[in-house]
A = this chain, B = another copy of it.
Amino acid sequence: MTGTFTGRSPAAEASPEAPGLSEPSKGLTVVTKEPYCAETPLPELDTWVTPTERFFVRSHFPVPHLDVESWRLIVDGEVDHPLELSFADLMRERTRTVVTTMECAGNSRSSVYPPAQGVRWHHGALGTARWSGVSLWDVISKAEIRPAAIEAVFEGADHGREPGVPEELSYAMSVPIVKAEHPDTLLAFEMNGEPLTASHGFPVRVIVPGWYGMGSVKWVTRISLIDHSFRGFFRTKPYTFIHEGDDPDVLRKPVTSLQVKSVITWPPEGATVAPGRIVVRGAAWSGEAAISRVEVAVGLPDDSGEGGTWRPATLLGPETPHAWVRWEVPIDLERPGYFVLRCRATDERGDTQPLRAEWNFRGVANNSMHAVPLIVRRSA
């Protein structure tokens, strides 16, 4: 642990773009003000670890401002010994640090056609951070979890109303026990070596590596072990694969692991470059497998996603289980003109990216190939 706990969320000047937030969001693009959702422009994602102040923020409700002294974590449900833990109790456990890529399930929704319901993220609800905390299982297993428990439900201190729901809701999401048991699933209190900021979950959040961000519940105050599939609003409505014609009352496949995906972080979309060789750079990730291959092509794709010549990119280090890999590939663009670059990643299971992902009503888990238009100017 490198941060220092003062009992308060780190002080910083208020951002005019983030009502109710006590921290700035430098260089982020605000997508919705209430709740506060802001994304990272792709050129700002051109490093392995994303600086905290450039890390996307997804809020469902107003950001709660919690106090570390009074914060408590309840562990209940299918347990023999329910717990109520303080922050000091957590600090007695062995700390663990993981670097994970986090992507919002709604990332890249803005280009989904037909238009999908939800925050209209471009591609920047995405980032990689170094999270420190304690293994979730080390903490909750002390409650003596009963064999009947099949899921752990994380509940945050953030709450409010959702359209069509009569009562007030807290944000809550579940994971299967097998994910809760994984030592890299954390109760995290540090991000990139500093205490969590208010908008990233101070004082304690869950980190579920390999999953879309909806599982990494911020401001966590309760963990309930349950003997059935969680049917809370956020699990069954926004974070689920709903297809055309589906009955609203039938449960669909939930959104869980990150699909294989890649983005071009340089050059920026619409950039003008000089003729000659450019080095195209980016990131690639997949929730449950390592990336085996990234390719870049120049030219508009045909309907199958082919068109142009795919060139293999070099995968750069470091290789870690839960973080994206950086990649780069030199591309020769000798002739002035308007061009389109696109990239696709393939993982060790053989999963790869489609030209356009299968449509779903919420526009979640969109891993369509990223395409970057580019102008090659005439040389001076």
How far, in angstroms, from A340 to B76 measured CA to CA in the complex? 42
Bound-complex Cα distance A337 to B246 (A): 5
**A64 located at the interface, meaning its Cβ lies under 8 Å from any Cβ of chain B in the complex:** no
Determine the residue in chain B with the shortest Cβ distance to A372: B114
- Picked from B116, B336, B338, the residue with its CB within 8 Å of the CB of A244 is B338
A189 to B272, CA, bound (A): 40
Residues of chain B within 8 A (CB-CB) of A247 are 335-337
A110 CA to B121 CA in the complex, in Å?
Answer: 11
Q: Is A236 part of the binding interface, using a Cβ–Cβ cutoff of 8 Å?
A: no
Interface of A is mostly: loop
Complex Cα–Cα for A102 and B115 (A): 23
List residues of chain B with CB within 8 A of the CB of A335. Answer: 247
Contact residues of A between 113 and 142, Cβ < 8 Å to B: 113-117, 120, 122
A308: min CB distance to chain B, Å: 9
A368 at the A/B interface (Cβ < 8 Å)?
Answer: yes
Is A315 an interface position by the 8 A CB rule? no
A245-267 to B contact mask, C-beta < 8 Å, 1/0 = 11111000000000000000000
Interchain CB contact under 8 A, B378 and A248? yes
Contact A300 B338 (CB under 8 A): no
List B contacts of A147 (CB < 8 A): none
Chain B neighbourhood of A110, CB < 8 A = 110-111, 120
Cβ-based interface call for A81 (8 A): no
Q: A164 and B114: CB pair below 8 A?
A: no
Q: In this assembly, does A359 line the interface, its C-beta being within 8 Å of a C-beta of chain B?
A: yes
A371 touches B340 (CB 8 A): no
Which of B272, B300, B371 makes the CB contact (< 8 A) with A164? B272
